[in-house]
Amino acid sequence: MKVECVQEKLQKILSQAEKISGKHLNLPVLSCILLEAKKGQLAIRSTNLDLGFESCLPAKIDEEGVLAVPSVLLSSFVSNLQGEKNVKLKGDANTLSVITSKNRTVIKCLPPEDFPTIPEVPKEHSFEVNVGDFVKGLKAVWYSSSISSVKPELSSVYIYPEDGMVVFAATDSFRLAEKRVKTKTSDFERLLIPFKNIPEIIRILEGERDMVEVRVSKNQIAFVFGGTYLTSRVIDGTFPDYRQIIPKEFKTEAVLLKEDLARSLKMATIFSDNFNQVSMSIAPSEKKFELTTKNNTLGENTTALDAALSGEGAEANFNYRYVADCLQSIDTDSVSLSFAGPSRPVVIRGVGDRSFTYLVMPMNR
């Protein structure tokens, strides 16, 4: 292999590929990045068997070839080549030489034939969506997934098409988040993306603009954009029918500024107990909405909030972290908290925005 390419572009792709490369004692080549020089471009691939990444950059190819290079070593070295415009890569079966005007290093390689094939997802079931909207959909719900692997369908983000929308949902059985984003077309089967893959998908998509092509098959989902191809394994399971647990009628509602609620919940962290419990007390007839936290060792705190209240009086205890988590997903200045009654969940939404719905179950007293 003999290749010359732009250092800045090489560094960007290597940094993306490196974080997806895996650590596998039985398959050491997973800790490598596969470099393939062919037809005027350098293809860079990495995988951890859950995620697969491939991106190409223009390059001057004097000699084609394929090498499996330790990812952290190569990425770290190239990222430290300050002030270098171009980088030359020269390799044989066992080593890769990285050459610049001021540096020359030799990195030992692994056999490239051991590198796994990245799954190719056909275009048969695909749709296009704005990258920013898709990332927003993932970010709006993924934190509600279960971190336990006992029920894989809960340790995932559920994605499905409905009425010209792509719907994202996640739950750990204590809270539920749903986000809807518009798309041009959406012809695909319902799918579950593993929770642990979501941060990397967000990280790679987040820096992109315009549209991303999303391809879906029985076992994989793929994202195609700007010369980059990213795949993720999907879970074979059935997501619970969560619609039936979202209340349709409410007895009490509070509307207040998101910033005020966030500030009061942050204060609650100071006096909360081991269960992160915060008590909400609403008395519309007295125009009173209070949040109380108690700690037998430290003391207690009660915060009164300015809010527009309607309906019956209500009292309930919640995990304050669960309530606070959803505020990042609400774009409006004001939020509504709708209570369906004792031992029923509270539904939180942005005022005037039905694209995001968040549900939290109350805690036992």
Largest interatomic CA distance in the chain: 80
pLDDT single digits (tens) 276-326: 999 999 999 999 999 999 998 889 999 999 999 999 999 999 999 999 999
Above 90 in pLDDT, residue 71? yes
**Residue 232 three-state SS:** strand
Domain final residue pick, 88, 114, 140: 114
3-state secondary structure of 85: coil
Residue pair 297/239 in contact (Cβ under 8 Å)? The answer is no
List b or e across 309-336, with b for residues whose CB sees 16 or more CB atoms inside 10 angstroms.
beeeebbbebbbebbbbbbebbeeebbb
Work out the mean pLDDT of the chain and round it to a whole number.
94
Q: Which of 87, 114, 141 is the last residue of a domain?
A: 114
**pLDDT tens digit sequence for 320-351:** 999 999 999 999 999 999 999 999 999 999 99
Positive or negative CA dihedral for 253, 259, 262, 267?
negative
DSSP at 245: G
Q: State whether 90 and 18 are in the same domain.
A: yes
Q: Within this chain, do residues 144 and 163 fall inside the same structural domain, yes or no?
A: yes
| Residue 87, domain extent | 2-114
Residues 345 and 253 in one domain: yes
This prediction's pTM: 0.92
Considering the domain architecture, whether residues 239 and 250 belong to the same structural domain is answered as no
Considering the domain architecture, whether residues 238 and 271 belong to the same structural domain is answered as: no
The Cα–Cα gap between 347 and 312 comes to 16
Residue 36 lies in a domain: yes
Q: Are residues 70 and 105 in the same domain?
A: yes
Same domain, residue pair 87 and 142? no
- Within 8 A by CB and 6+ apart from 197, the residues are 50, 51, 232, 233
Asked, for residue 94, whether it belongs to a domain, the answer is yes
Choose among 349, 219, 215, 363: nearest CA to 278: 363
Domain count, the chain: 3
Q: Which amino acid is at 179?
A: K
| pLDDT, tens digit, 9 for 90 and up, residues 215-268 | 999 899 999 998 999 999 999 999 999 999 999 999 999 999 999 999 999 998
pLDDT bracket for residue 4 (50, 70, 90) = very high
**Are 199 and 303 found together in one domain?**
no
Q: Does residue 221 form part of some domain? A: no
CATH number at residue 348: 3.10.150.10
